[in-house]
Amino acid sequence: MPVEEFVAGWISGALGLVLGHPFDTVKLLGFFKGMSFPIASIAVVNSVLFGVYSNTLLLLTATSHQERRAQPPSYTHIFLAGCTGGFLQAYCLAPFDLIKVRLQNQTEPVAQPGSPPPQYQGPVHCAASIFREEGYRGLFRGAWALMLRDTPTVGIYFITYEGLCRQYTPEGQNPSSATVLVAGGFAGIASWVAATPLDVIKSRMQMDGLRRRVYQGVLDCMMSSVRQEGLGVFFRGVTINSARAFPVNAVTFLSYEYLLRWWG
């Protein structure tokens, strides 16, 4: 199994994340809280995303990434490979994302003298407390919603990227850096716009259970959110998600493409 896509995904994910972290955190308050943890985790997760995508495409079309410019795969194959990558990365992402959401929602300012310490002292402490209080399954709270969010939207991600690259690149050539940046940025926006409704639900499910369980499952969380807040609830955060998605994914795709070209 070719591994360079995994490594390129690893590095490019970390680079994209550094740019995106302030956006990601501002939507949950608590600026710059916990930066080193997401860097390490997104690197793993992005490596699964790109590695699985590229290797699924290899299985479906029998072309390696070096051959793909000369023999472009069909959009159906790109979509299916993207969905597979999205599905598998969602499972790797689930515990990391849960910890991130829990830490970012701890908005208490840094300990005042005499005040009780925050519930979670850091990512490792957070993981250990969730494990202690809710068991192994607790670490996967919200994973089902995350999988529903990422399976189709990672398909959309790669279709948009490939479609835009092909549109602006002469046949058989590699896309220019400008094309990769713009296509990567719009791929990020398109997939995040599609992902936002389930992103809202996912985050609510991840926070649920912290004190008192409110939701019975994904559907129940959707229904009660809509009942209480109207359909607009599904678009909560769509602007900040898009503003974050452009630079993050422009840099992710640019570094991914260039690392693979370097390595031949």
Ligand X SMILES: C[N+](C)(C)CCCC[C@H](N)C(=O)O
Q: Shortest gap between Cβ of 204 and ligand X (angstroms)?
A: 16
Check residue 189 and report its DSSP letter: H
Asked if residues 48 and 8 have their Cβ atoms less than 8 Å apart, the reply is no
Check residue 120 and report its DSSP letter: -
| CA dist., res. 116 & res. 120, Å (int) | 11
Alpha-carbon distance values, 38 to 45, 55, 213, 264 (Å) = 10, 25, 26, 29
Stretch 222-261 residues interacting with ligand X (CB under 6 A): 245, 248-249
Q: Is 150 in the site for ligand X (CB under 6 A)?
A: yes
Q: Shortest gap between Cβ of 135 and ligand X (angstroms)?
A: 26
- Candidates 46, 55, 56, 203; binder of ligand X (CB under 6 A) is 46
DSSP secondary structure of 80-101: HHHHHHHHHHHHHHHHHHHHHH
Nearer to ligand X, 11 or 119 (CB): 11
Nearer to ligand X, 16 or 123 (CB): 16
Q: Shortest gap between Cβ of 118 and ligand X (angstroms)?
A: 26
Tell me the two tokens of residue 28: 């949950």
Q: Shortest gap between Cβ of 6 and ligand X (angstroms)?
A: 15
Q: Is 157 in the site for ligand X (CB under 6 A)?
A: yes
Q: Is 104 in the site for ligand X (CB under 6 A)?
A: no
Nearer to ligand X, 84 or 153 (CB): 153
Q: Shortest gap between Cβ of 260 and ligand X (angstroms)?
A: 17
Q: Which amino acid is at 27?
A: K
Which residue, 234, 235, 212, 236, is CA-closest to 223? 234
Q: Which residues contact 159 (CB under 8 A, 6 or more apart)?
A: 75, 78, 79, 82
Asked if residues 50 and 260 have their Cβ atoms less than 8 Å apart, the reply is no
Q: Shortest gap between Cβ of 34 and ligand X (angstroms)?
A: 16
Q: Is 152 in the site for ligand X (CB under 6 A)?
A: no
Alpha-carbon distance values, 73 to 56, 79, 86, 170, 256 (Å) = 12, 10, 18, 16, 18
Nearer to ligand X, 55 or 241 (CB): 241
Stretch 180-199 residues interacting with ligand X (CB under 6 A): 188, 191-192, 195
Q: Shortest gap between Cβ of 33 and ligand X (angstroms)?
A: 17
Nearer to ligand X, 127 or 146 (CB): 146
Which residue, 209, 222, 195, 234, is CA-closest to 141? 209
Which residue ranges make up the site for ligand X (CB under 6 A)? 13, 16, 46, 86, 149-150, 153-154, 157, 188, 191-192, 195, 245, 248-249
